[in-house]
Amino acid sequence: MECLTSVKLTENGLLPPKPWQTLSTEELGRILDSLLFEVSSRDPLTYLAGAALIAAVSLLACLLPARRATQVDPMLALRYE
């Protein structure tokens, strides 16, 4: 259940921008053009790699605590609450 919430939050961050956010995205693209060396700000491979990295870190961040929580004895956890 916690992983589903985390996946939804990550999905919202990785989806394409809304129409009213496009202007700020274009401005950010111009700024990135001046900062990037030998990489275009519109390079699809870079975008895919960045999105994959964010998704992997998000999945790992929700799976590790969930796995740890499954190893706790339910009766012991309820007793301490």
| pLDDT tens-digit profile, the chain (81 residues) | 667 887 787 877 777 766 666 666 677 777 878 887 777 777 788 878 888 998 899 889 888 888 888 898 889 888 877
- Over the Cα atoms of the chain, what is R_g? 19
Q: How far apart are CA 38 and CA 54, in angstroms?
A: 22
CA 67 to chain CA mean position, Å: 19
Q: What is the pLDDT of residue 77?
A: 82
Per the structure, how many domains does the chain have?
Answer: 1
Tell which residue, 52, 70, 63, 54, has the closest CA to residue 3.
Answer: 63
For residue 73, what are the domain limits?
2-12+20-80
Unique residue bearing structure tokens 């519109």: 42
